[in-house]
Amino acid sequence: MARAVAGEAHAAFFSISASEFIEAIVGVGASRVRDLFAKARGAAPSIVFIDELDAIGRSRQASVSLAGANDEREQTLNQILSELDGFEPAEAVVVLAATNRPEVLDPALLRPGRFDRRVAVQAPDRVGRRRIVEVRTRAIPLAGGVDLAAIAATTPGMVGVDLANLANEAALQAARRNHQRVQTADFTDALEKILLGAPRGIVLSSVDRERTAYHEAGHALIGMLTPGADPVRRVSIIPRGGALGVTLSTPDDDRVSHTREDLVGKIEAGLGGRVAEVAVYGTITTGAESDIELVTAIARQMVGRWGMSEAIGFVTVIPSETGNAFGSVRETSEATQQLIDAQVRQLIDRLTAM
């Protein structure tokens, strides 16, 4: 994106990773910062892009020592801050940076005049995915029936590199099958391999195959009959990755929010395999391990983060996934933690009983 911005602005482009500033010898990193910005000013108008900014721009409050933390990292950070002072209105140098951990950055970097404009890069929507797939398949001969719009619709949440991997894997599948052109089945199998894992070369006994079939049938039936659950795309009892069978469910449209009914539907679909085993065999196995993890994670988020429990109320009692720069600090009491566990168990038990 930074390179595209430089191209649209007809500006010189300089790119560097923040980790390249870090050296054992104090002062080397600051010197490299000065050299980089000197080159950028000499080629102005220009754009400087710093990747993985958190490698050098971590908050200094967590690393203060008795010696004042006057180390290489802090000197380099101070030099970057001085280069971004914003007191030279005539300089045609724009600095862009990227990080996936904005919560650990030093507050001085985010003040006005420095990195004061944030752009959250989200996963592309269906239209964006279709255009990405069109670009990634330009050099791939496609069969006449390949619908790139349908491929984009079945890949929610995927980003550019995921779609590039999908196109490459589909081409490999076609080559293995001696196809002259990549067909829709090649894309379908490639998507399954990416999402579900490659098939394992093991042979299940007839008892295990039957039990796996009932387990996956339970997921599929509940998924198809429960409002709010994602539509079932494919059911397989071929061992893939760490699972003996897989039920693939993906939404029809991109969703940015979920209702309580949607989440309950996901939980019920996840419970379908274990319920089917109990209904048919009257006993349980270890095959529902991943289902239990998924169901528990959804239920805990509903109770502790999304205010969907009357006992907890409209408060957040589970820390954010991003955390903070100084480690996780529990802000809830032991009684609240016990109440969360009780509410999660009550929600799952009630849905299981239904």
Between CA 28 and CA 30 the distance in angstroms is 6
Residue 115 lies in a domain: no
Q: Both 72 and 16 in a single domain?
A: yes
Q: Both 167 and 96 in a single domain?
A: no
Kindly report, residue by residue over 168-186, the tens digit of the pLDDT.
Answer: 999 999 999 999 999 999 9
Residue 331 lies in a domain: yes
Residue 106 in this model has a pLDDT that exceeds 60: yes
Q: Which of these three, 174, 196, 218, is where a domain ends?
A: 196
Q: Would the CA dihedral through 156, 161, 162, 165 be positive or negative? A: positive
**71, 54 contact by CB (below 8 A):** no
Q: Both 91 and 51 in a single domain?
A: yes
Q: Any idea what the Cα angle at residue 7 is, between residues 4 and 13, rounded to 5°?
A: 90
**340, 302 contact by CB (below 8 A):** no
Between CA 349 and CA 345 the distance in angstroms is 6
For residue 326, what pLDDT is reported?
43
Give exposure, 86-98, as e/b (b: 16+ Cβ within 10 Å): eeeeeeebbbbbb
- pLDDT band for position 89 (50/70/90)? low
Residue 119 in this model has a pLDDT that exceeds 80: yes
Write out the DSSP string of 172-211.
HHHHHTT-SSB-HHHHHHHHHHHHH-PBP-----HHHHHH
For residue 213, what pLDDT is reported?
92
Kindly report, residue by residue over 32-80, the tens digit of the pLDDT.
Answer: 888 888 888 888 888 989 888 888 888 877 555 444 445 667 788 888 8
**Active-site option among 83, 192, 216, 277:** 216
Question: Which residue would you say has higher pLDDT here, 354 or 124?
Answer: 124
Q: Both 67 and 188 in a single domain?
A: no
**267, 299 contact by CB (below 8 A):** yes
**301, 318 contact by CB (below 8 A):** yes
Q: Both 98 and 37 in a single domain?
A: yes
Q: Both 333 and 221 in a single domain?
A: yes
**Distance from the first to the final alpha carbon of the chain:** 49
Going by their DSSP bridges, the two strands 246-249 and 232-236 should be labelled as antiparallel
Q: Both 222 and 333 in a single domain?
A: yes
Residue 300 lies in a domain: yes
- CATH assignment of the domain containing 159: 1.10.8.60
Residue 135 lies in a domain: yes
Between CA 132 and CA 21 the distance in angstroms is 33
Whose structure tokens read 């959250």? 120
Q: Which of these three, 57, 79, 110, is where a domain ends?
A: 110
Q: Which of these three, 149, 166, 196, is where a domain ends?
A: 196
Q: Both 330 and 216 in a single domain?
A: yes
Question: Which residue would you say has higher pLDDT here, 330 or 15?
Answer: 15
Q: Both 61 and 103 in a single domain?
A: yes
Q: Both 235 and 348 in a single domain?
A: yes
Structural domain range at position 166: 126-196
Q: How many domains does the chain have?
A: 3
Q: Both 317 and 342 in a single domain?
A: yes
Question: What's this model's pTM, rounded to 2 decimal places?
Answer: 0.71
Residue type at 194? I
For residue 63, what pLDDT is reported?
54
216 classed as catalytic: yes
- CATH assignment of the domain containing 58: 3.40.50.300
- pLDDT band for position 166 (50/70/90)? very high
